[in-house]
């Protein structure tokens, strides 16, 4: 029997249930671990950094399939529904503004990843009542993050480190959106942001899915996420996992993952790290979390990496995102500098490169599965 692996970006009606989710995503190695199918249905769960099916479901059409970021979707239609047409670009999605910013508080910068812009924006939104709960990636045991809901801005200010292993953020949103929180903010990777966008536009009543409570999505630039099991095994050979305090990836010319421990910085060649990348990430075409209100990544400055690592690039995509950024400027909690000449163009080129690589990978995967099916 011939099988076909479906490109997650191809246009389609998005109809299917758990059976199709299993065949086209979970067994095909395309699951991102975002958790979009969890807490929508009691039959899906997260185990470590993987999505598992607990019981079979015979629904022909289910939200587990509809909301998954790796099932077919008309992305152009999503953009038309969620963003202003004049802001949309083929490389980066909607761009209402482009900035280089960082936390004005040096203490926040020290405790956060890069410039601390994400931490600053989330804590500001909580303090100002723009959101009353934030879904963030928390620090778990043995480098395995877990998603948590934070309502206290002071607590949120202490949770700014990048994890590099996927956290089931959308599963946590699905859980709390049925609770007392009325205005929820989410810090999301590209796949998680896409799942939330699909939820916002699906034909299900707001009372039933709680998506109307989503008031802010802060996106994270993302090249890939790592398999928790493989990363833990790699680092166990180099240090005790409970000694790891953080990680970072310098620009590509360094070809290194920096692992910070309580006593030293360990530099691991990306040749060792690349086998730990989740299979699903190779066919992801979104580098900058295009389906968010604003997206944040590490800056690239002419002064070099040591200067760049304390600043962020920020793409504002919606008026809500612009209002929050300008409020941060007005309150003095973010400081800004002019983007270097050509910064936006370089970011567009990098994003376009990821889209092309992902498209090639998706076609190669599909052809491989088709050949396997024909041979069987």
- Tokens 């993050």, residue? 145
Q: In the chain, pLDDT over 70 holds for what percent of residues?
A: 90
Which pLDDT score, from 0 to 100, does residue 290 have? 98
> What's the predicted TM-score (pTM) here?
0.90
Q: Which position has the higher pLDDT, 207 or 222?
A: 222
Lowest mean pLDDT among 190-204, 206-220, 233-247, 272-286: 206-220
Which pLDDT score, from 0 to 100, does residue 10 have? 45
Average of pLDDT values for 260-283?
93
Which pLDDT score, from 0 to 100, does residue 371 have? 43
With a CB cutoff of 8 Å and minimum separation 6, the contacts of 133 are 149, 150, 151, 176, 181, 183, 184, 185
What number does CATH give the domain 228-276? 3.10.450.750
Gap between the Cα atoms of 73 and 280, Å rounded: 17
DSSP 151-175: --HHHHTT-----SB---HHHHHHH
With a CB cutoff of 8 Å and minimum separation 6, the contacts of 253 are none
Q: pLDDT band at 11, cuts 50/70/90? A: very low
Q: How many CB atoms lie within 10 A of CB 146?
A: 16
Which pLDDT score, from 0 to 100, does residue 182 have? 94
Look at residue 205 and tell me whether its pLDDT is greater than 80. Answer: no
Mean pLDDT for all residues in the chain:
88
Output the six-digit token pair for 96.
């209402």
Predicted confidence (pLDDT) per residue in 88-126, tens digit: 999 999 999 999 999 999 999 988 888 999 999 999 999
Q: Which position has the higher pLDDT, 375 or 239?
A: 239
Gap between the Cα atoms of 63 and 35, Å rounded: 12
Predicted confidence (pLDDT) per residue in 28-70, tens digit: 999 999 999 999 888 999 888 889 889 888 888 888 999 999 9
Q: Which position has the higher pLDDT, 281 or 208?
A: 281
Average of pLDDT values for 181-210?
86
Look at residue 166 and tell me whether its pLDDT is greater than 50. Answer: yes
> Distance of CA 302 to CAs 41, 340, 341, Å?
49, 7, 9
Q: Which position has the higher pLDDT, 291 or 11?
A: 291
Look at residue 312 and tell me whether its pLDDT is greater than 70. Answer: yes
Residue 235 has phi, psi (to 5 degrees) of: -80, -25
What are the domain boundaries of the chain?
Answer: 85-219+285-342, 228-276
Lowest mean pLDDT among 101-105, 270-274, 299-303, 326-330: 299-303
> Distance of CA 115 to CAs 204, 228, 246, 296, Å?
39, 26, 15, 10
């Amino acid at each position: 029997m011939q099988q076909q692996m479906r490109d997650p970006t191809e246009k389609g009606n998005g109809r299917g249930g758990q059976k199709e989710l299993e065949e086209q995503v979970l067994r095909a190695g395309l699951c991102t671990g975002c958790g979009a199918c969890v807490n929508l249905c009691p039959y899906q769960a997260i185990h470590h950094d993987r999505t598992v099916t607990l019981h079979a479901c015979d629904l022909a059409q289910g939200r587990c399939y509809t909301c998954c970021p790796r099932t077919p979707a008309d992305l152009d239609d999503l953009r038309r529904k969620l963003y202003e047409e004049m802001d949309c670009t083929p490389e980066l999605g909607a761009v209402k503004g482009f900035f280089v910013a960082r936390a004005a508080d040096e203490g926040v910068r020290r405790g956060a990843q890069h410039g601390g812009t994400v931490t600053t924006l989330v804590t500001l939104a909580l303090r100002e009542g723009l959101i009353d709960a934030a879904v963030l990636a928390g620090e778990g045991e043995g480098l395995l993050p877990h998603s948590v809901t934070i309502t206290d801005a002071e607590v949120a200010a202490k949770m700014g480190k990048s994890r590099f292993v996927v956290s089931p953020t959308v599963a946590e949103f699905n859980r709390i959106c049925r609770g007392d929180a009325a205005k929820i903010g989410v810090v999301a990777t590209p796949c998680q942001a896409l799942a939330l966008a699909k939820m916002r536009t699906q034909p299900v009543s707001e009372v039933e899915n709680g998506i109307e409570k989503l008031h802010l999505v802060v996106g994270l630039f993302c090249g890939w996420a790592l398999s928790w099991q493989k990363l833990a095994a790699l680092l166990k050979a180099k240090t005790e996992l409970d000694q790891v305090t953080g990680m970072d990836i310098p620009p590509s010319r360094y070809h290194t993952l920096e692992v910070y421990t309580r006593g030293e910085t360990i530099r691991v060649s990306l040749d060792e790290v690349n086998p730990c990348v989740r299979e699903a990430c190779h066919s992801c075409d979104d580098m900058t979390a295009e389906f968010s209100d604003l997206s944040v990544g590490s800056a690239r400055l002419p002064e070099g990496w040591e200067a760049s690592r304390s600043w962020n690039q920020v793409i504002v995509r919606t008026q809500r995102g612009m209002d929050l950024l300008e409020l941060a400027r007005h309150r003095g909690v973010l400081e800004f500098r002019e983007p270097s000449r050509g910064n936006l163009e370089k970011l567009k080129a990098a994003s376009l490169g990821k889209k092309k690589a992902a498209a090639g990978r998706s076609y190669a995967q599909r052809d491989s599965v088709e050949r396997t099916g024909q041979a069987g």
